[in-house]
Amino acid sequence: MVYISRSCFRKYGNFMDNLRLYVRGGTGGMALPRLGGHGGNGGDVWVVATKNMTLKKIKDKYPLKRFLGGPGGNSSVRALKGERGKDEEILAPVGITVTTDNGRSIGELNAEGDRVLVAKGGSGGTPYTGFEPKKGQAKHIRLDLKLIADLGLVGFPNAGKSSLLTALSNASPEIASYAFTTLRPEIGKLMYQDYKQISLADLPGLIEGAHMNRGMGHKFLKHVERTKQLLFVVDVSGFQLASKTPFRSAFEAVQLLTKELELYKEELVSKPALLAVNKMDLPDAEDKLEELKEQLQNPEEFTNLLPDDMIPNHFITFRHVIPVSALTGFGVDHLKSCIRLSLDECATRETSTEHQEKLEALRHQYQEAFVRNVDKNLPLLKGVGRTQ
Ligand SMILES: Nc1nc2c(ncn2[C@@H]2O[C@H](COP(=O)(O)OP(=O)(O)OP(=O)(O)O)[C@@H](O)[C@H]2O)c(=O)[nH]1
Ligand SMILES: [Mg+2]
């Protein structure tokens, strides 16, 4: 297994994709029994989607992570109706889900300006409530950065994932010849001539041991969980992370990536997957591609190339294996078509399964209703039989 110095990942500490907060609505104001006054309602707590915000910024600005609505004003001789408490707004990034601590959804913030009420202020005291004010709602909430893309890029560092995303889409991620250039996920949109859009998530490079949180580890594998399909990217010439770590051919890279996904969560490898064999502009690329294709056809025969504990339980059958060069643009259009084809095929299959299930449910309902009717009419039918 590959071991890497910690310094490579220090920067990763800046990226947060979830945050837990305490929120409490303001308490209502006191009523004034003598004159029958009403206390003001406590202020509510809202989460509001705002441009250029990050979860990290919230945490840095509010280290206690507590957000309280203002208390409602008391009713007084001068103002029989107490003033309403001030609302508290938590400015959060766009693209998050807000849930309770036990995972119940409260709402989603998908566009700038979207707002979700997370804790309602308590009502002020009134003659009808015995002049007693109410406390505001109090709870812990979670903000989760959603990264739901149609396709997730999976590959070792330097394979050219970000370069491919740039070649395929409108995104402009950082690209460099050192490992772990990408430190946080980024989404690009692939546009098609019929205006269909497909989202593609560039994720930081995986390394051997990612499932044990080595390298960028777990946090990014979580995002792979949420994508519909996977696009593996390998360097046709293979990969070596550092001079002390073993060299891995493209075939080995595919199997090691598969194993990492499998060790993290077995279901991940059952997702439909495509393989982009990148850097086809390099010398001997054609020969290496042929070798890779042959190995992928009978992977069992080549397991001797892998360390015993890194042989996957199941070898992935890729829906398409596409040679490309993100640098020259070779094969990029073909890759784009294959991505579309693969997603469309799955969508059609899902729709027909859904129809089938609905049809089954209707049939079942109809049968049950029929049996119920027969049961209900049975005494009547028997009665009819007797009078005849
Ligand atoms: N020759 C050649 N070089 C490429 C190609 N695609 C990418 N590169 C180079 O490979 C290096 C790594 O590219 P990136 O796109 O940053 O790779 P990555 O997979 O995103 O890397 P990480 O973010 O570190 O995981 C850069 O120097 C790119 O210029 C290609 O098709 N041909
Ligand atoms: Mg990258």
pLDDT of residue 10: 35
Q: Which pLDDT belongs to residue 148?
A: 64
Q: What is the pLDDT of residue 307?
A: 86
pLDDT at 15: 59
Q: Encode pLDDT of 90-125 as tens digits.
A: 999 887 889 898 878 899 887 889 999 999 999 999
**Quick check: 175 and 50 in contact, CB under 8 A?**
no
Distance 277 CA to ligand 1 centre (A): 12
Please state the atom number of ligand 1 nearest to the C-alpha of residue 159: 19
Mean pLDDT of 62-86: 94
Nearest-angstrom CA–CA distance, 100 and 87: 20
**Which ligand is closest to the CA of 236, given by its number?**
1
Cα–Cα distance measured from residue 223 to residue 150, given in angstroms and rounded to the nearest whole number:
11
Which amino acid, 203? L
- The 3-state DSSP class for residue 199 equals strand
Q: Whose CA is nearest to atom 27 of ligand 1?
A: 177
- Model pLDDT, residue 1: 36
Model confidence at 156: pLDDT above 70:
yes
Residues 316, 293: Cα–Cα separation, whole Å: 13
228-247 pLDDT tens trace = 899 999 999 999 888 888 89
CA of 202 to the centre of ligand 2 (A): 7
DSSP character string of 13-67: GG--SEEEEEEEPPPPPPP-GGGT-BPPPPPPEEEEE-TT--HHHHHHH-TT-EE
Distance 369 CA to ligand 2 centre (A): 58
- Comparison of pLDDT for 301 and 359, the residue scoring more: 301
Instruction: Pick the most confident of 24-28, 125-129, 131-135.
Output: 24-28
Please count the other Cβ atoms lying within 10 Å of the Cβ belonging to residue 347.
Answer: 12
Please give the distance, rounded to the nearest whole angstrom, from the Cα atom of residue 65 to the centre of ligand 1. Answer: 39
Distance (angstroms) between ligand 2 centre and the Cα of 238 equals 16
Pocket test residue of 9, 175, 335 for ligand 1, highest count of atoms within 8 A of CB: 175
Ligand index nearest the alpha carbon of residue 324: 1
Nearest to 307 by CA among 199, 190, 208, 380: 208
Mutation pick for ligand 1 pocket among 9, 163, 207, 239 (CB with most ligand atoms within 8 Å): 163
Ligand 1: nearest atom to the Cα of 177: 27
pLDDT of residue 218: 66
Helices (H) and strands (E) in the chain, counts: 6, 14
Which is nearest to 337 in space by CA: 319, 349, 353? 319
Asked if residue 38 lies in contact with residue 74, where contact means CB atoms within 8 angstroms, the answer is no
Who lines ligand 1 at CB under 6 A? Answer: 155, 157-163, 175-177, 179-182, 204-205, 278-279, 281-282, 325-327
Nearest CA to ligand 1 atom 14: 160
Which two structure tokens, joined as six digits, stand for 121? 């202020």
Give the atom of ligand 1 at the shortest distance from the alpha carbon of 280: 31
Share of the chain above pLDDT 70, in %: 91
Contact assessment for residue 255 and residue 315, using Cβ atoms and an 8 Å cutoff: yes
Domains present along the chain, CATH in parentheses: 18-145 (2.70.210.12), 151-346 (3.40.50.300)
What is the secondary structure of 118-183 as a DSSP string?
EEPPPPPP-GGGTT---PPPEEEEEEEE----SEEEE--TTSSHHHHHHHHSS------SSS----
Tell me if 81 sits within 8 A of 66, measured CB to CB: no
| pLDDT score for 172 | 77
List pLDDT tens digits, range 277-327.
999 999 999 999 999 999 999 999 998 888 888 899 999 999 999 999 999
Is the predicted pLDDT of residue 81 greater than 80, yes or no? yes
> Quick one: which of 119, 97, 89, 103 has its CA closest to 17?
97
Distance CA 36, CA 28 (A): 16
- Residue 166 CA: nearest ligand 1 atom is 15
Distance CA 255, CA 118 (A): 45
Which residue has a Cα nearest atom 32 of ligand 1?
Answer: 279
Q: What is the band of 68 on the pLDDT scale with cuts at 50, 70, 90?
A: very high
Q: Is the Cα dihedral 100, 104, 110, 116 positive or negative?
A: negative
Asked if residue 24 lies in contact with residue 137, where contact means CB atoms within 8 angstroms, the answer is yes
Which protein residue has the closest C-alpha to ligand 1 atom 12? 158
For residue 29, pLDDT over 70 is answered with yes
* Interval between CA 278 and ligand 1 midpoint (Å): 9
Range from 126-140, 172-186, 197-211, 227-241 carrying the lowest mean pLDDT: 172-186
Rounded to the nearest integer, the mean pLDDT of the chain is 86
Determine which residue's CA is closest to atom 8 belonging to ligand 1.
160
Residue nearest to atom 24 of ligand 1 (CA): 180
Q: Provide mean pLDDT across the span 209-216.
A: 74
Q: Determine the distance separating the centroid of ligand 2 and the alpha carbon of 215, expressed in angstroms.
A: 14
pLDDT at 9: 36
Q: How far apart are CA 382 and CA 370, in angstroms?
A: 18
Compute, in angstroms, the gap from residue 161 CA to the centroid of ligand 1.
Answer: 7
Q: Which residue has the higher pLDDT, 34 or 287?
A: 287
122 CA distance to ligand 1 middle (Å): 56
Best mutation site among 153, 158, 172, 216 for ligand 1 pocket (most ligand atoms within 8 Å of CB): 158
